[in-house]
Structure 1
């Protein structure tokens, strides 16, 4: 005759304090007791991000900007308006540049909204490892952003090519879809890291808008000859300029290529995410 297994035997061992408490009281919880894992944190964050309305609205606005502006461009132009040898895929740049804004907003709100509402206390009670919580948020958000952006950029590139024609290469098509999707996902992760550091939605979103637009705006006012070097630097490494590289266009000569742009944004995102992980364990909720 076999003894029925307890929930603890089925789902893993419990901690020493829990065992001591059970021995003293004789009570065994019917709820399975086990330590939270990264898989649990990922499932929790996926449930959160797909169930809140801000995710739907921000991605809906992003899709409307990317697809809407691309379609309007296709309707406004005709095949004879396309310069010889230029691909229509490059015209999707404007929609993606504007579509970054709701992605950054969602990246900030993915973590800062929990601090604003106090929900972060419940999250950390269920999963005390702050690094695991932040890592799960980053993984889920980055994967979802990449997939949504890839769908949007692929559709708008197909619409532009079908409507306006023009020759394109497989490399340009890949950079304008997969490459730019990875870049947008990195910007979203950077916004999430800023949100984790500031814990204030409005402040972090404002800072991210300045991060994207301020270098370009400053460069426009630095037309004086002694400032040409600084102007070229701001133009070369501004977000709009680096984003244009994926579409075969650039504001200045000698701008970073696609891999360089991904490396710069990836390195910057890694630094701020690392700082967010470091700070998370050293601050109160």
Structure 2
């Protein structure tokens, strides 16, 4: 008489908490971590058209405005009037910052308008983890694109005008410094999009933050408002960005890397507010 063969044990024993007879997945399950959230956010940001359009337009603005200015000066045989050659990239970066602001707002606010935020938070219930993952992915992407493009523009401008090679400190400010400033400005927009939860409204507010202080200062003619007018000029975003380029627009206020420290502090406060808003409000 043949003894029946003993069936092999299952590859993964059932947990003690699972009742007998319940089906058990053969694939081990683990809670999602920050790395999983970062991978998911990277997949989302590189899959949507808004990323390609906003960053693509920003690159075109940086290259187009910077090179057009250099070629115009070369054709007209004009000198820079004492200005450093790298300062020619300032206007392209100022215009391109609007694209980064737009992408920063859309990175979060668009999920509220489409309802995708419910799916995101269902897959990753840790709301703080979602905000951190979005911030990491957006910051690294915008910093890399801005830094590389600003460096390419600076090299081409120097070659076109056959100018004296800038110092290492100047190159560091207009590449890494400008990249950090624009990426932090985009993070500020992401935080505002989290708080406002409306794409058009948050973009409008951010454009006002960039341009309104200068516009207001231009109309403050009375002597009693002189100190306010000077502060608006010195601490406006265009003036702080110009300080990194060391242009003639630089006023006796924050200079160089101080501008990056200021925008980093403001962005940190805004991200704390975004975390509180995301954690305490319904989606």
Report if TM-score (shorter chain) is over 0.5: yes
Find the partner of 1:139 among 116, 136, 139. Answer: 136
Question: How many residue pairs are counted as aligned between the two chains?
Answer: 275
Shift of 1:227: 2.0
CA distance in 1, matches of 2:225, 2:119: 52
Deviation per CA, 1:173-232: give whole Å up to 9, x if none.
110111000000000000000000011101000000000000011111113333221111
Q: TM-score, normalised by structure 2?
A: 0.92
CA distance in 1, matches of 2:176, 2:146: 9
CA distance in 2, matches of 1:68, 1:30: 56
Q: TM-score, normalised by structure 1?
A: 0.91
Q: Which moved more, 1:226-235 or 1:189-198?
A: 226-235
Alignment CA distance shift 1:250-1:273 (3 Å): farther
Residue of structure 1 in register with 2:221 after alignment: 223
Residue of structure 1 in register with 2:34 after alignment: 38
Residue of structure 2 in register with 1:183 after alignment: 181
Shift of 1:49: 0.3
Find the partner of 2:211 among 210, 213, 222. Answer: 213
CA distance in 1, matches of 2:44, 2:258: 34
Alignment CA distance shift 1:104-1:170 (3 Å): same
Residue aligned with 1:81, SS: coil
CA distance in 2, matches of 1:82, 1:226: 40
Question: Runs of 5+ in structure 2 lacking a partner?
Answer: 1-6
Residue aligned with 1:77, SS: helix
Residue of structure 2 in register with 1:120 after alignment: 117
CA distance in 1, matches of 2:137, 2:196: 21
Root-mean-square deviation (CA, aligned residues, Å) is 2.0
Residue of structure 1 in register with 2:3 after alignment: none
Residue aligned with 1:34, SS: coil
Q: Is the 8 A contact 2:174 2:245 kept in 1?
A: yes
Q: Which has the larger radius of gyration?
A: 2
Shift of 1:165: 3.0
Q: Is the 8 A contact 2:239 2:251 kept in 1?
A: no
CA distance in 1, matches of 2:252, 2:87: 18
Residue of structure 1 in register with 2:59 after alignment: 63
2:101 is aligned with 1:110 = no
Residue of structure 1 in register with 2:72 after alignment: 76
Residue aligned with 1:23, SS: coil
Question: Runs of 5+ in structure 1 lacking a partner?
Answer: none
